[in-house]
Structure 1
Amino acid sequence: MSSVLFILTGATSWTQKDGSQRASGFWGEEFVVPHQIFSNAGVSITIATPEGSPAVVDGLSLSPEANNGDTAKVAAISAYLNLHGSALRAPARVADLDVGDFDAVFVPGGHGPMQDLAVHGGVGKILAEALNHPAKVVAAVCHGQASFLAAGDAASWTFKGRKLTAFSNAEETQVGLADNAPWLLEDRLRAAGAAYEAGTSWAPNVVIDGDLVTGQNPASAEATAKAVIELLSQRATAR
């Protein structure tokens, strides 16, 4: 049985350029859809946050407005979160985990990762170890790729030169959050040395670079998870 480590943000707010705090957390769809796909495939899942604090869903991600008015989808996401509420309330602490125990690391988005995962040394360490291991898969969706920024410094960034995607400047602008954001993820990834690739705003877009799988936005969560399953299956067959 394959095993996947889900690293979720432990942040409940995102500090804005003007110093205000915007309520945040992880994006519901980006956790629920991949978690369902991995569970249905028989994958063992461990949930962790940087310091073992509860993982809190961004309330905006449960609004009809953020889900194209699909109230049935919102209800299904909410029900799934309730089903796994105990695991989300008491996740593991990243520092207590050994990347050797997992076949893949998966990081859902939401703006919370911009607050904590992007600057957490323990998160960066486990991502670097996973990406540098020939048998591991690293994956992230939307703003989950902010966690990549913690994996090394400017001189030795683990993801330098790797092809990837993430929530785009255009999408951040379209949701009205770019102007007050302390920084934009696309800009930071490019500046750090990633070979960033943007697709059409809000449409599924997944970039696969060897053992690295990234999805651009919430609509990419399903395809990202399925790509990880495919890579895990290939590795299992090769063993």
Structure 2
Amino acid sequence: MPKILFVLTGSDHWTLKDGTKHPTGFWAEELLAPLEVFADAGIDVDFASPQGKTPVVDEGSLAPDAIGEEESVKQREALQALAGRLESPLVLADVDLDTYDAVFVPGGHGPMEDLAVSDDLGRILVTMLDGGKVVSSVCHGPAGLLPATRTDGSWLFAGRNLTAFTDVEEEQAGLADKAPWLLESRLREAGATFSSGEPWAPFVVVDDKLVTGQNPASSTEAAQKVVGLLT
């Protein structure tokens, strides 16, 4: 049976360009929705983070005025059920990649702080994708694609078709003018072939064994595409 490594941010903040720390973490839906898809498919998952730090949920992702009271309660209960596993993730640098068939990187702004500069994640992605395994990510999770360079200095995802949280969505979310950099722009500058759909609507790009989703609403479909590649 396939097994997936979830790489989660270990950061509880994103440092804005004025030096202030914006509270964040991982986005609840981008963890929970894929987990549900993978569980339904009978696929096991492990969690890992930089230095094995306990991941923190972005409270904004659970706000009742954003997702509704019922959904907020449901997601909090689901996170509470996962608390024991989330408290002690694997140390990213020590992960045995032979154990896994895919890697999945959820978003939230946390990855913009730590995964975007994680050499350990970069090494893992190079090993996985060049080894014919599945690399998948959603929303701000593709920030973690940035440090994936091969030994010759080339970027792993140069010329690859992908998507991520767009500059327009960042503007609409109210953080674009405070951000030290924008994810879509950075991915384009690095050499990705970037495409996107309507803001906040589901949009997923599959390029061989690379699966990326644009925003939280894309989480379920992205996970379904991963299942399709693994089964």
TM-score (norm. length: structure 2): 0.97
2:62 is aligned to: 62
Query: Counterpart of 1:126 in structure 2: which amino acid?
Result: I
Query: Counterpart of 1:20 in structure 2: which amino acid?
Result: T
Alignment deviations for residues 96-131 of structure 1 (CA, whole Å, 9 cap, x no partner): 112221010000000000000000100110011111
The 5-angstrom pairing of residues 196-235 of structure 1 reads 196-233=194-231
Alignment deviations for residues 118-148 of structure 1 (CA, whole Å, 9 cap, x no partner): 00100110011111112x1110000000000
Per the TM alignment, residue 155 of structure 1 is displaced from its structure 2 partner at its CA by 4.1
The 5-angstrom pairing of residues 15-164 of structure 1 reads 15-67=15-67, 70-134=68-132, 136-152=133-149, 155-164=153-162
* SS of residue paired to 1:106: strand
Query: Counterpart of 1:143 in structure 2: which amino acid?
Result: H
Whole-angstrom CA distance in 1 between matches of 2:165 and 2:64: 20
Residue 177 in 1 paired to residue 196 in 2?
no
Whole-angstrom CA distance in 1 between matches of 2:30 and 2:65: 16
Aligned pair count reads 230
Query: Counterpart of 1:85 in structure 2: which amino acid?
Result: A
Runs (4+) off by over 4 Å: none
Whole-angstrom CA distance in 2 between matches of 1:65 and 1:100: 43
Whole-angstrom CA distance in 1 between matches of 2:103 and 2:212: 12
Alignment deviations for residues 169-193 of structure 1 (CA, whole Å, 9 cap, x no partner): 0000001000000000000000000
Percent sequence identity over aligned pairs: 50
1:3 is aligned to: 3
Query: Counterpart of 2:144 in structure 1: which amino acid?
Result: S
Per the TM alignment, residue 29 of structure 1 is displaced from its structure 2 partner at its CA by 0.3
Whole-angstrom CA distance in 1 between matches of 2:46 and 2:195: 29
Structure 2, unaligned runs of 5 or more: none
Alignment deviations for residues 26-56 of structure 1 (CA, whole Å, 9 cap, x no partner): 0000000001111121111100001101011
* SS of residue paired to 2:103: strand
Query: Counterpart of 1:48 in structure 2: which amino acid?
Result: A
Whole-angstrom CA distance in 2 between matches of 1:151 and 1:92: 20
Whole-angstrom CA distance in 2 between matches of 1:71 and 1:171: 24
Whole-angstrom CA distance in 1 between matches of 2:71 and 2:147: 33
Query: Counterpart of 1:90 in structure 2: which amino acid?
Result: S
* SS of residue paired to 1:150: coil
Alignment deviations for residues 65-94 of structure 1 (CA, whole Å, 9 cap, x no partner): 332xx2111111111100000111110001
Query: Counterpart of 1:130 in structure 2: which amino acid?
Result: M
* SS of residue paired to 2:104: strand
